Amino acid sequence: MALALDLSGRTALVTGSSQGIGLAIATALARAGARVAVNGRRAGALEEAADAVTSAAPGAEVLQVVADLSTGEGAEGALRQVPEVDVLVNNLGVFGPADPFAIDDATWERYFQVNVMSAVRMLRAHLPRMVERGWGRAVTIASDSAVVVPAEMIHYGVTKTALLGVTRGFAKAVAGTGVTVNTVLAGPTHTPGVEQFVEDLVGADGSWEERQHRFVLEHRPQSLVQRLLEPDEIASAVVYLCSDLASATTGGAVRADGGYVDSILP
């Protein structure tokens, strides 16, 4: 029996979706029939993202939400542009290696505003509207780093750990309403930003395949797939959680980590 991941008639907002995992999620939701709003800070990048989505999903309706969700004002602006959504995917995030003893207060604050508070703002705004309609899906993209905090970027890992608590708490707040709230623990994924991250850690020698292999062996040896994931693999998990078929999954941290987290529990 084929799984029917049909989101026709639904409106989805994917934050931080001008490239990488966010763009892959927006594309996958559009292919499932959703009207998709892509979000970012730069209008030019969003135009390119919208073109990419419609090229992959001909006929899809794509909205462009130019807003910086790391600020309250930006979140309010996004809400004015798209006040009602059925599906919310909090993908916005920043990462990067840093000496833990050199991370200053301003950097910690920036990571919390971008990675954590942007999600809180969107959940706080959209979940009550979903509850009123009796149906909704909210998925926040966390990371294996939420559970296995990397020594080279603890500020990033800690923000992703915080998102697990945010998700569980908001899921309880909408219990019994037909609205589900989940987190996806994404494993190390091949995106343009990650290519630079890998180069920073293992150097620029050799082909991308060689650098990727060296990175996984030296810095993510727990990976059971022994490679970086592709954005489409994360997007597939998200689309399922946003569908009617995932009605029994809420308050969870669903792993799409390539087996990286060494645990038999989610």
Q: For the segment 99-154, what is each residue's pLDDT rounded down to a tens digit?
A: 999 999 999 999 999 999 999 999 999 999 999 999 999 999 999 999 999 999 99
Question: Which amino acids are annotated catalytic?
Answer: 156
3-state DSSP assignment of residue 119: helix
Note the pLDDT tens digit of each residue in 164-184: 999 999 999 999 999 999 999
Tell me what the pLDDT averaged over the chain comes to: 95
In this predicted structure, the answer to whether residue 194 has a pLDDT above a threshold of 80 is yes
Q: How do the domains of the chain map onto residue ranges?
A: 11-189+230-256, 190-228
Sign of CA dihedral 100, 103, 104, 107: negative
d(CA 124, CA 111): 19
pLDDT value, residue 68: 98
Neighbours of 199 (CB within 10 A): 14
- 159-to-12, 203, 240 alpha-carbon distances in Å: 24, 27, 25
Burial class (CB in 10 A: 0-12, 13-18, 19+), 94: middle
**Burial of 218 from C-beta contacts in 10 A (0-12 / 13-18 / 19+):** exposed
Q: What percent of the chain has pLDDT over 90?
A: 89
In the chain, pLDDT over 70 holds for what percent of residues?
99
Tell me the HSE value of 120 on the side-chain side, using a 13 A CA sphere.
Answer: 17
Q: Which CATH number fits domain 11-189+230-256: 3.40.50.1220, 1.10.3720.10, 3.40.640.10, 3.40.50.720?
A: 3.40.50.720
1 has pLDDT over 70: no
pTM of the model: 0.94
Q: What is the largest CA-CA distance in the chain?
A: 55
**Residue 191: pLDDT above 90?**
no
pLDDT of residue 263: 87
pLDDT band at 2 (very low <50, low <70, confident <90, very high): low
* Structure confidence at residue 4 (pLDDT): 76
39: left (phi over 0), alpha (psi -120 to 50) or beta: beta
Please give the average per-residue pLDDT across 60-71, as a whole number.
Answer: 98
Question: pLDDT tens for residues 199-212?
Answer: 988 999 999 999 99
What pLDDT shows up at residue 161? 98
pLDDT tops 70 at residue 221: yes
Q: Tell me, what's the pLDDT at 249?
A: 98
